[in-house]
Amino acid sequence: MRIAEILKKRMTVSFEVFPPKEDDGVPKLQKEIDICKKYNPDFISCTYGAGGTNKGKSVEVCSYVQKQDINCMTHYTCIMETEKSIDDNLKEYASHGLENILALRGDYRIDPTTGKPDVKTGGTFHYASQLVDYIHKKHPNYCIACAGDPEIHTDARSPWSDMAFMRIKQDAGAEFCLAQTCHDVETYEKWIKQLRHAGFHLPVVLGVMPALNARFTEGGPNISALTMIPNESAIPRSLAAIIGKYTAPRGASPEVAKQYADDFRKAGKEWTVNQIHKFMCCDVQGIHLYTLNKAADAADIVEWSGLRPSPEGKDTVHRRPTIELGNFF
């Protein structure tokens, strides 16, 4: 089913997985997908590595998702893609039953000589808007999602140009937006208001990155509210406080480190649930959980937040672990 049609009816709940690098990783990932299936997701998206790596495994994973009677959305980038390769790949995806696609520019490849990004896609198209337009015209059977970044794309010349390109992708044929993780609710609210003012009317599904471990950040315990994590989303003070409290001190024994990690995971999941509730009160049409291929943790968040009931019929919403979040909120 086209995801845009589901979004007309209700707020969607979905998951994202990524194909493993290991040769024997796909069967393990299939077990993760089986856990997600229990929660009746509206769709599962599957990414692939930078520069097109793991694309073959991505097709295999997408095919497995479709066979579970779950809508699947594949990621697709401009990197090293010609019109012919796009046509061939999209026909292959369609042969597996896919009809949803997230059209992206993709991350630039790293030049092996200089170690710096090669600011060229190496393909026919250089911008996601061009890819959206091409797929919309040549492969109208696909429902196309475009990406958005509430904290503004790192390559944008200005916030206004970023908004303009969102309009361009909408007018090129995108049917909904999948927004990058944003931990700051106020920043998201400001972004969405500006988007709407700019004439961007498509539904917005927000990507949610669960806080599961301290390595989720780049700064360890000494983190300010402005520290950036790998996906370049600013860390709010509430999350920084959790990182500071539940990060094991240097030199801690394996047993102590494990206890800190377990406590961090519990507090981080509770914090993520709280963030989801805040975002649900904003202009958001879907919650998209990045599972990090840890479906059991994502399942807890879905249950605790009330997005989906426990498959076993347990009252998990009111029986979440008691974590001393206190001043964190």
Q: What are the residue boundaries of the structural domains of the chain, listed by start?
A: 3-213+276-328
What is the spatial distance between Cα 329 and Cα 278, in angstroms, rounded to a whole number?
11
Mean pLDDT of the chain: 88
Tens of pLDDT along 62-81? Answer: 999 999 999 999 999 999 89
Distance of CA 87 to the CA centre of its chain: 25
φ/ψ of 279, rounded to 5, equals -65, -30
What is the spatial distance between Cα 87 and Cα 114, in angstroms, rounded to a whole number?
33
- The better pLDDT of the pair 211, 155 is held by 211
- The reported pTM is 0.89
Q: What CATH number should be reported for the domain whose range is 3-213+276-328?
A: 3.20.20.220
For the beta carbon of residue 101, count every other beta carbon within 10 angstroms: 24
Tens of pLDDT along 18-45? Answer: 888 777 778 889 999 999 999 999 999 9
Burial of residue 122 (CB within 10 Å: 0-12, 13-18, 19+) is middle
Please report the sign of the dihedral spanned by the C-alpha atoms of residue 150, residue 153, residue 154, residue 158. Answer: negative
Tens of pLDDT along 197-234? Answer: 999 999 999 999 999 986 654 333 333 233 333 445 78
Q: Give me the percent of the chain exceeding a pLDDT of 90.
A: 70
What is the pLDDT, as a whole number, of residue 222? 33
What is the spatial distance between Cα 176 and Cα 99, in angstroms, rounded to a whole number?
14
